[in-house]
Amino acid sequence: MNHVISVLTENKPGVLARVSSMFARRGFNIHSLAVGPTSDPTVSRMTVVVDAPDLEQIIKQLYKLVHVVKVMELSSADSIEREIMMVRVSAEPKRRHEVLDAARIFGADPVDVGVATVTFELSGEPHRLGDFLELMRPYGIVDLVKSGRIALAKDPKTKDAARAALRSA
């Protein structure tokens, strides 16, 4: 089962290598890994999508790593998840208008036009990107690249929920 884990770490050299090797040593496959700065320049956020049956063990192991500050599992119901994708689609001149019209439905931006292809950029929820790929598949997908998934917990919508979230943090 895939789990989305948010890991706050000190922004130090080698932290990414230690975290990813912890997953490898335990035989877990990382499906996606994105790392970037937070509002605090001394802290980085890793968003890891991992296929693992026992998430509790992973969280315990992550906390044993020296530079790990906080670990949270993010459920799809309680978080906002996004990816970015670029996909090159076969688009002969006579079908190019058809391909562009289909991509417009998803709000995909054409970022490069070649002799026989169009490259689109699209960001959004992972399932939306998958739907776009299915729409483009009949035209012929020539090349594809996706970023790692990024995610943030949703902000509490009530004062009581905010207080509960602060107590558990």
CATH architecture of the domain with residue range 80-150 = 2-Layer Sandwich (3.30)
In tens, the pLDDT along 105-150 reads: 999 999 999 999 999 999 999 999 999 999 999 999 999 999 999 9
Give the contacts of 72 (CB within 8 A, at least 6 positions apart): 5, 6, 153
Tell me what pLDDT residue 30 has.
Answer: 92
Query: 2-74 in CATH: which number?
Result: 3.30.70.260
Tell me what pLDDT residue 166 has.
Answer: 60
Residue corresponding to tokens 């090797």: 21
Tell me what pLDDT residue 165 has.
Answer: 60
Tell me what pLDDT residue 107 has.
Answer: 97
Q: Where in the chain is the domain with CATH 3.30.70.260?
A: 2-74
Q: Where in the chain is the domain with CATH 3.30.70.1150?
A: 80-150
Tell me what pLDDT residue 54 has.
Answer: 79
Closest CA to 72 of 45, 42, 110, 32: 45
SS3 content of the chain, % helix, strand, coil (to 5): 35, 40, 25
Tell me what pLDDT residue 53 has.
Answer: 83
Residue spans of the chain under pLDDT 70? 159-169
Closest CA to 120 of 95, 101, 148: 101
